[in-house]
Structure formats: structure tokens, C-alpha cells
Amino acid sequence: MTRTHGVVAAGLLMLAGGIGIGVGRAQQDQGPAEKTGSKLDEAGRSFKKGLEDARDAIRDQFARARASVHNMDVASRVYGRLHWDKTLTTSTLDLDVKGGVATLRGAVPDAKAKAKAVELAEDTVGISKVIDQLTIQPPPPPRTTPDTSTDATPKT
């Protein structure tokens, strides 16, 4: 049994030695075919690296586009709720949604309308926070026309 192990070990040592010598000689005596092969390997690694970089760039762009579309969807839901509410018909509202945060700007007629606008935005699916920058600005009084029924001509 030990003799078998010794023979196997000797064979492996000879094989390893032969491979080592062959590799050393191959590196020293690189011909045109070997040089071309190593250049092709290098080009392949470079091409693979370029593909990986392109893949990462495409994934980043897709993530940004997806977030933008999601924000547009959320913004349209908030806008619809604010637009169709009867207490906000005289209000001028500006809405900005980014990352689930809605910013409300503009003027509302009273505190009740302001609270309603914030509540509608907060209760919209996809909104996690509302930044209230609304101002209370009562509507202007109705315009009155001057009374022209009085006759300005003197009576004689």
C-alpha cells in the first residue's frame, strides 16, 4: 500500500514538474498565435467590463424613470382629489410630488379650505408626508357697479 502511494506521489511530482517547465517555456517562446490569443483574451475581458458598465447604467436609468412615473401617478391622484373638491374651487393650488412627499403651494380662501387640502393630500395612496405652504387669502369682495339711476341734470 505504501509502495502504491509512493509511486503515485512520484508520478504526480513528475507531472507537476513537466507542467511547470512547459509553462515557463511557453511564456518565453510566445509566438504570433499565442500573442494573438492573449490579445483576444484581453479584448474579451475589456468587452465584458464594458457590458457590465452598460448594464449598471441601464439599471440606474430604469430606476430613475420608474420613480418618475410613480411620482407622476401619485401627483395625478392628489391633483384629482384637490381639483374635484367643492371647498377648493376658488383656490389657486400648485402641487409638487417627489418621493412620496407632496408640497402644496398657493392661496386658499379660509382655514377650512387649507385643512381640507392638506387632509386630501395626506389621505392619498402613495403620499407619506405633506409640506403645507398654503396661504389664506380671502377672495376679493364682489365688484359693485355705480348706481347710474340718479339723474344728474338739474331740474328747472
pLDDT of residue 140: 73
Instruction: State the pLDDT at residue 30.
Output: 72
The pLDDT of residue 106: 95
Residue 13 has a pLDDT of 53
The one-digit pLDDT tens for each residue of the chain (156 residues) are: 555 555 555 555 555 555 555 545 555 567 888 888 888 899 999 989 999 999 999 999 988 887 776 766 889 999 999 999 998 988 999 999 998 999 999 999 999 999 999 999 999 988 999 999 999 988 777 777 666 666 556 565
| Nearest of 64, 73, 63 to residue 97 by alpha carbon | 73
How is residue 149 annotated by DSSP?
A: -
User: In this predicted structure, what is the pLDDT of residue 94?
Assistant: 95
Domains of the chain: 64-136 (3.30.300.130)
Cell numbers for 94, please give them. 400648485
pLDDT at 148: 62
pTM, two decimals, is 0.48
* DSSP tally for the chain: helices H, then strands E: 3, 3
Give the ranges where 84-125 is alpha helix by DSSP (H): 111-122
- If DSSP codes are grouped into helix, strand and coil, which group holds residue 50? helix
